[in-house]
Amino acid sequence: MVKEQMSTTVETCRDMLKTEEAIFFIKDFFGKKLAANLNLVNVSAPIAVLDGTGINDDLNGVEKPVSFSVKGVKDQNAVIVQSLAKWKRIRLKEYNIEAGRGLLTDMRAIRPSEELSPIHSVYVDQWDWEKRISPSQRNLDFMKKTVKAIYQALRATEMALFKRHPEFVPFLPENIYFIHAEELLRQFPDLTPKQREYEISKIFGAVFIIGIGATLSNGEPHDGRAPDYDDWSSTNEDGYKGLNGDIIVWNPVLEKGFELSSMGIRVNEEAMERQLLIQGCTERRKLLFHRMLLNHELPLSIGGGVGQSRVCMLFLRKKHIGEVQSSIWPESVRNNGGSLRLL
């Protein structure tokens, strides 16, 4: 009995080590491919920023970041980043990045308001990127070209992993399908947003849902978005609202739609004014980031994040995000952890 337990433990350790090696390979390969496809340069990223500047993101508009005081900094707390959408845009200005080129960061964040689940953790790791664009590129066609470039990097990573580990047979479709959230609602009017994502991703394998954050014909948005980074309110060439969206793929292990990326063309002055008014938070105009944007001091950009643990979880056929990252989980999850990286 003891020998059997020892053998099982050794085998589990070997599997975990193999997983770690595969995780490193995926992160390294995709990061390089994404940078090449979008013409990005790698830069270092902060783990915290000063509070009260408007630089940190509140994602759906309600999440509260971790706040702490810093010795030597008076009258102002620091907050752990939740994403770097606004910080990256300021960096584009500070580095004087030209149009057509951008930044890529290895972002680490803490989101304490996250509802823990097999696909959600308080610890967030993602490839966070931002690219400067020209006024003529603030359109749906340019966004779709960017989405296709990201998707091509995903498929290339999947194929590279297969060549290295033949047990992971590629399953992503050749092309990604585009649909607006309003079209998706009309196609499945009696379903919830997550149920719509389930149906459309099961049909096409990989989809980009456009217009996340805008109110749809049923009076509700497909999902929430803060008002001050993605442009979800401008009318696009198809006559719908929004120049942003989410990449959703069908996860064959979990048998559900699986979000890999949230991204979009960022707000210009008009879009941010409109979205601040829609969400009733015009007081943000006084914050540093918002003042810079409204004063025409920041470049136009497109940007987003691609979840590192999400991509690893998908390609390595894992059922729980804790199998590909270390995080904090309740006792009920820890007791059934198996190969989870648990603290």
Task: Name the catalytic one among 259, 308, 323, 325.
Answer: 259
Q: Is residue 246 annotated as part of the catalytic site, yes or no? A: yes
Please write down the HEC assignment for all residues of 243-299: CEEEEEEEECCCCEEEEEEEEEEECCHHHHHHHHHHCCCHHHHHCHHHHHHHCCCCC
Backbone φ, ψ for residue 39 (5° rounding): 60, 60
Give Cβ neighbours of residue 307 (< 8 Å, ≥ 6 apart).
124, 125, 126, 259, 260, 261
Q: Is residue 58 annotated as part of the catalytic site, yes or no? A: no
Task: Name the catalytic one among 83, 262, 308, 309.
Answer: 262
Q: Is residue 126 annotated as part of the catalytic site, yes or no? A: yes
Spacing of C-alpha 173 from chain mean position: 21
Q: Is residue 167 annotated as part of the catalytic site, yes or no? A: no
CB 263 within 8 A of CB 209: no
CB 315 within 8 A of CB 161: yes
Distance CA 47, CA 107 (A): 8
Task: Name the catalytic one among 128, 130, 228, 246.
Answer: 246
Q: Is residue 106 annotated as part of the catalytic site, yes or no? A: no
Backbone φ, ψ for residue 219 (5° rounding): 85, 5
* β-strands 301-307, 256-265 pairing: antiparallel
Task: Name the catalytic one among 126, 137, 325, 327.
Answer: 126
Spacing of C-alpha 158 from chain mean position: 18
Largest CA distance in the chain: 72
Q: Is residue 190 annotated as part of the catalytic site, yes or no? A: no
How many residues are there in the chain? Answer: 343
Give Cβ neighbours of residue 157 (< 8 Å, ≥ 6 apart).
26, 29, 30, 33, 311, 315
Task: Name the catalytic one among 57, 130, 231, 273.
Answer: 57
Task: Name the catalytic one among 89, 111, 225, 341.
Answer: 111
Provide the 10 A C-beta neighbour count for residue 200.
22
Tell me which amino acid residue 305 is. G
- CA distances to 147, 149, 154, 330 from 307, in Å: 15, 16, 11, 22
Catalytically active residues, by annotation: 57, 111, 126, 246, 259, 262
